Chain A
Amino acid sequence: MSTAVKPETEQTFEANVLKSDKPALVDFWASWCGPCRQLAPTIDAVAAELESEVSVFKVNVDENPNLARTYKIQSIPALILFKDGAELRRATGNISKQQVVDFIQKG
């Protein structure tokens, strides 16, 4: 995992994600999910590239079931972009690097 991507938990989600100064991208994933593992290096690369623009977090849904429930995650990998504490948009499934960049920048 790149240093630009931070693991996130239920305890710190509000402070780190919802109250983030920058837009926050959250990748909901699990170790048993093949496409999540395929998406991981893409997220690492985008996080490093867009470090000044967006904060990137990963939420393990096994370890944080309440967060998965709160955000009604029914499919992973799921990306949610938060801005000022609110969900701006979401995408599910493994997508390409360009699609992740577009998801962050254009929606």
Chain B
Amino acid sequence: MTPVLVVAVTVTAVLLALAGVASTLARRRIGLLHLGGAALLEALLLVQAVLAVVLLARGERPADTPTFLGYLAGIVLLPVAGVLWARTEPTRWAGTVLAVAAGAVGVMVWRLQQLWEATGG
């Protein structure tokens, strides 16, 4: 759980959300840009998940471990779910669906960081 990674995830998520909203406003479906952005976001989240699991395995424990694990698993699934859904959505609203998923990631990553820093005894 490094702040650099959290910021990188946030920036990517925000850009992806903006791209999604932009495609809806432009009345277009999602394109390669969105898929690439989602792939980058997912890659960052996977790095973060691996890092967190390594730290957990070394014995570091956030105060609320079950919640932390729930967020860690949920956040990794979100971009995948967003892309799968957006690709089956044949209207310009596909971008908005992706934007919602990206926005949720952007919020959840900070909650995740918060949970991690609240280290329990």
Q: Do A and B bind each other?
A: no
Contact surface of B with A, Cβ cutoff 8 Å: none
Contact surface of A with B, Cβ cutoff 8 Å: none
